[in-house]
Structure 1
Amino acid sequence: MSTTLPAEGYRLTGISPKAYEHPADRAATAALGSIPYLDKVVRRLIELGYERAMRAAYLGSSVRLSEAQLPDLWRQHNIAYATLDMPDVPPLYLTQYPSPNAAAIGASRPIVVLQSELVRLLDTSQQRAVLAHEAAHILSDHQLYRTALQILLRIGSTAIPLPVAPIRAALLEWSRASELTCDRAAALVVRDPLVVCRTLMVITAGAEAEKLDLDAFMRQGQEYAEPSSGLQKLTRLFLDLGVTHALPVKRVHELMAWVHSGEYDRIVAGEYRRREEPVSARAEAGGATDHYATKAKDAIAGAGATLQDSYAEASAALEGAGDKVAEWLRRRGADAGRQDDTD
């Protein structure tokens, strides 16, 4: 099933990502900001050269799209940025890979990479939804943390030194929340939330939309969101722990709950926060943190006081990890420098 895309002139002039930011994203970002030295740690990871290596790998094994290379896809990429009123359009690459995925790579000079299976499965509106989702990550300034997480995931959990493991866990939690914000942006760009839901269904199933039933998938999302026992909530919590994206049915449910709240229609009608408007950091972080902390507490409460105590200990350990990670990275950087001197 296809949909009619909005006219190319449709633009959300000056829109701030705060206009559609999911409260979980806002809270998780605030929580990351409270971890001592975290920004220094992730910047140090990037300085060590892993980002350059990732960028080189994509440049060497992908095709850069343009007016001469898959111009229709390149056009959808440009329209997504124009709609979000983003003047700088990053390079777009297509790489052969059997699973459908996309990513914005790089903290300072991002590029967007699409995997070939994604393009094969999706129609034009769904492709624009994916490209808008990645554009929203860049607009929200997610790239520093996302790039650090991609580096840590490529290092592999078995190779990550103990001090870095809590940082990886924190970034994974934040990453899942940030996806909910970008799903909202994608819905605004294509001007049809159901296109985003259909895109998530197609990517999840690995089958074209014409072969799937969106209504059934939406009911599946509603079923997943229904109240459940403490054990079921705990099981879902553990399912989330090692993944970068929230589960697709949860993302569909979260997106449609936002639409039903009336916020989507309000923004499409032109009533939204602009980038130049001041933001009260205390108000933003405070309300969001309360929302996020309540959800986390509810998820853990069903497991009993013992697990809750363990969670508190883990949180305390995470807050104190900054010094250890910084020291480990400092030593690693010094060792790398000595190695370079001998090569």
Structure 2
Amino acid sequence: MSDDLPVLGYRLKQIDERVLRHPADRAATAALKTIPGVNTVARKLIELGYERALRQSLLASSVRLSLHQLPEVYDRHRSAYTILDIPKTPELYLAAFPVANASTIGSQDPLVLVNSSLLDQLDADQQRVVFAHEAAHVLSDHVLYGTVLQILLNMGGGMLGRTLPTALPLMAVQNALLEWSRAAELTCDRIAALVVRDPLLVCRTLMSISAGTAASRLDLGAFLAQADDYGKASRSLPGRWTRMNLEMSTTHPLSVRRAHELMDWVKGGDYERIRDGEYPRRGEEDPDVKAEAKAAAEHYKERFQGAFKDVVGQAEDATKSVSDWLQKNLG
């Protein structure tokens, strides 16, 4: 067993993931929790076997990696959980798919699925970024909502349509979960930077994925300048609305935005402080809840400008309809 770590022995022992959460993640998660019935619907869909069907669908066309199957790739995956002090390493699967992407699903027993096109495009260090990002979803307890979102996104293929009536207003629930998903990705970029101990490597990976080509053919300095330009342009109200419209139906924020958000956090000093071991441990006194709530509220107001609030209202009606239907027909 190799110790494939950025620095031999480097660990973020018992780190409390709440200190790493992006304000948008805190805000979106808090907003989801205010929607009556959303957790009931999520858990009911999982109880009814939709998660199992999704897992089987993914696993039927992929290969499980291990110490005996692409061991060098599996070791990069495993090292992320070692660094984050997560006791159990999820199973890793590789699928042939033309879109460069990776995902983590499984509300109780997570698994990681990575597309072959992503591995082919990235070098070994960049692959560590991807695996660290996916491990961050496990650390941050994103897997329940993330799995439900994947179920809803797959309903167009008939997985849900055979059981749930198509008249149910699920689109509002899906939109709320998409907004949450984009916010959660910003948290995972922070954690990935800490795992690989190199925020610029995370940005280089985002650049390569966005361009669809090897990072060696691109200029990271120019990409970071582009991210800075984006940050300045998005401060205006028209800029924020343009971004929201561009991202509306996506699970991930724009790559340039992700680089900008990550580097803003690094410049604030938290990255170096946490990297050097100054952070709250799990089980210790809770972080300043009032300060976190205030930061989340301010970010929520600035970024969403009421748009997500409207989605939450629609999702509240939708989840009540779904929850009532499930209770009546399948409870």
Q: Is the Cα–Cα contact under 8 Å of residues 8 and 79 in structure 1 kept in the other structure?
A: no
Whether 1:26 aligns to 2:26 is yes
Q: CA deviation at 1:273?
A: 1.5
Letter in 1 for 2:265: W
Cα distance in 1 for residues equivalent to 2:328 and 2:156: 20
Residue pair 1:172, 1:244 contacting (<8 A) in 2 also: yes
Q: Quick check: 289-298 or 96-105, which moved more?
A: 289-298
Aligned match of 1:205: 211
Alpha-carbon RMSD: 2.3
Counterpart residue type for residue 173 of structure 2: I
Cα displacement (A) at 1:242: 0.7
Partner residue in 2 for 1:255:
262
Largest Rg, 1 or 2: 1
Give yes or no for the alignment of 1:265 onto 2:262.
no
- Distance in 2 of aligned mates of 1:200 and 1:163: 34
Structure 1 233/131 Cα, relative in aligned 2: closer, same or farther at 3 Å?
same
Q: Which amino acid aligns with 1:322?
A: T
Q: Supply the AA of the counterpart residue of 2:55.
A: R
Indicate how the Cα distance of structure 1 residues 281 and 61 shifts in structure 2: closer, same or farther if over 3 A, else same: farther
* C-alpha distance in structure 2 between counterparts of 1:179 and 1:78, whole Å: 20
* TM-fit CA distance, 1:284: 6.1
Is 1:326 the equivalent of 2:319? no
Q: CA deviation at 1:251?
A: 0.3
Cα distance per residue 1:255-284 (max 9 Å; x no partner): 000000000000111101111123268526
Find the partner of 2:184 among 155, 170, 178. Answer: 178
Question: CA deviation digits over 1:200-259, x for unaligned, max 9?
Answer: 111111101111111111111111111455434322211121111111000000000000
Structure 1 position 189 matched with structure 2 position 195? yes
Could you tell me which residue of structure 1 aligns to residue 7 of structure 2? 7
Amino acid at match of 1:181: T
Report the equivalent of 1:240: 247
Distance in structure 1 (CA, Å) of the matches to 2:292 and 2:174 = 22
- Whether contact under 8 Å (2:11, 2:82) holds in the other structure is yes
Aligned partners of 1:94 and 1:313: how far apart in 2? 38
Structure 2 unaligned segments of length 5 or more: list them. none
Distance 1:60 1:157, change over 3 A: closer
Amino acid corresponding to residue 88 of structure 2 in structure 1: D
Shift of 1:27: 1.1
Q: Secondary structure of the equivalent of 1:68?
A: coil
Cross-structure match for 2:44: 44
Q: Does 1:166 align with 2:178?
A: no
* Aligned partner of residue 207 in structure 2, secondary structure: helix
Query: By how many angstroms is 1:320 displaced?
Result: 3.6
Are 2:280 and 2:287, in contact at CA under 8 Å, matched by a contact in 1? no
Question: C-alpha distance in 2, partners of 1:189/1:312?
Answer: 34
**For residues 312 and 65 of structure 1, what CA distance do their matches in structure 2 show?**
42
Structure-2 separation of matches of 1:318 and 1:170? 7
Secondary structure of 2:189's counterpart equals helix
- CA change 1:8–1:53 in 2 (3 A) is farther
Percent identity at matched positions? 50
Q: Deviations over 1:93-149 (max 9, x none)?
A: 111111211011111111101100111111111111110100010111111000000
List per-residue Cα deviations over 1:302-322 (Å, max 9, x = no partner): xxxxxx7xx766543333433
Give the 3 Å change call, closer, same or farther, for CA 281–48 of structure 1 in structure 2: farther
